[in-house]
């Protein structure tokens, strides 16, 4: 019994050390206020998107909740207003899996909102399937939808500069590969499978797209007052995998998330850093983790691959 108690105590101490050194992470230090500024946060009805919206509303921003589900977004809207103490928060419907919806959202926004100072491309999914436009689901929602949205709103961002685009990516990009031949032929990032691993591979491919998109966007924004950043928010216990009901996920992944993943407040800190921190404009196009810029492997910052992805993305969403 004494040995068991000792082992339990050692495990507890080890967990506390890991929590404070690896899991919790640093906090955004910026005191920037956002009165008179307008922000769009995609996927802000739940998870880190909702928490990000609350924090930005607290700083005085007019926050646009760009979400697919009207019912869930309206419930989140009430929560965000209550928790932030701000009534300057509105919902506008956006389904990133529908190019028609993205175009409709952008058209409505540009007609009704005179400013855009910060675009946070936060929404993401972890599921297979096809969008209504025939794109692979994670390609369509995690990359193409945000790619089109950003391009449609880019002139307004330039008009309101200095402004920023923040793309929420993931460390999963390290697992990513872009098979351009397959992408051209099938309008997807790879073959689908029934396992959690096959879904994670496609997710990693889509997150690599986020980094390459940010890299090329920064190149195209040179000489403007718009900067852009990609980031890994940390491993966070969110609803992104709510559609994943595989045995491996239910038995292994989800219990681990409760113990070793960040809280929503902790998970928003790098997003807030990229959105608000003063003096990082020269780091446009770079990748951040734990509120600090990080180096990435060559494939995630390759000019030729980033340009090629941009050109294919233009064609897939009808911009070319």
Residue positions annotated with a catalytic role = 203
Task: Name the nearest CA neighbour of 205 among 124, 97, 98.
Answer: 124
Write out the two tokens for 33. 């206020």
- Decide the pairing of beta strands 163-168 and 292-294: unpaired
Cβ-contact 202, 136 below 8 angstroms: yes
Query: Within 13 Å, how many C-alpha atoms sit on residue 253's CB side?
Result: 18
- Decide the pairing of beta strands 163-168 and 118-121: parallel
Write out the two tokens for 162. 């200095």
Residue with tokens 């797209």: 209
The beta strand positions in 56-203, using DSSP E, are 62-67, 89-93, 118-121, 163-168
Residue with tokens 């038995």: 251
């Amino acid at each position: 019994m004494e040995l068991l108690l000792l082992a339990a105590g050692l495990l507890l101490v080890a967990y506390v050390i890991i929590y404070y050194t690896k899991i919790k992470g640093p906090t955004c230090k910026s005191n920037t206020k956002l009165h008179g500024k307008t922000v769009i946060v995609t996927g802000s009805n739940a998870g880190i998107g909702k928490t990000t919206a609350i924090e930005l509303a607290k700083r005085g921003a007019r926050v646009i909740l760009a979400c697919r589900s009207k019912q869930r977004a309206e419930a989140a809207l009430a929560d965000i207003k209550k928790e932030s103490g701000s009534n300057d928060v509105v919902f506008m419907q956006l389904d990133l899996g529908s190019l028609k919806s993205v175009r409709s959202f952008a058209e409505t926004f540009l007609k009704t909102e005179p400013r855009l100072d910060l675009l946070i491309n936060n929404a993401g999914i972890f599921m297979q399937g096809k969008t209504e436009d025939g794109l692979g689901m994670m390609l369509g929602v995690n990359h193409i939808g945000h790619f089109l949205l950003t391009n449609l709103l880019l002139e307004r961002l330039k008009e309101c500069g200095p402004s920023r685009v923040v793309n929420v990516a993931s460390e999963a990009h390290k697992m990513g590969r872009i098979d351009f031949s397959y992408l051209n032929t099938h309008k997807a990032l790879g073959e689908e499978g029934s396992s959690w691993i096959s879904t994670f591979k496609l997710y990693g491919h889509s997150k690599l797209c986020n980094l390459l998109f940010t890299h090329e966007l920064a190149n195209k924004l040179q000489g403007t007052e718009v900067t852009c950043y990609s980031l890994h928010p940390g491993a966070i216990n969110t609803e992104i995998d709510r559609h994943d009901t595989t045995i491996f996920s239910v038995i292994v992944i989800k219990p681990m998330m409760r113990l070793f993943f960040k809280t929503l407040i902790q998970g928003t800190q790098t997003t807030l850093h990229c959105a608000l921190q003063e003096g990082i404009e020269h780091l446009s196009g770079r990748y951040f983790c734990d509120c600090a810029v990080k180096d990435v492997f060559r494939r995630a910052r390759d000019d030729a691959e980033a340009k090629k992805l941009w050109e294919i993305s233009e064609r897939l969403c009808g911009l070319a």
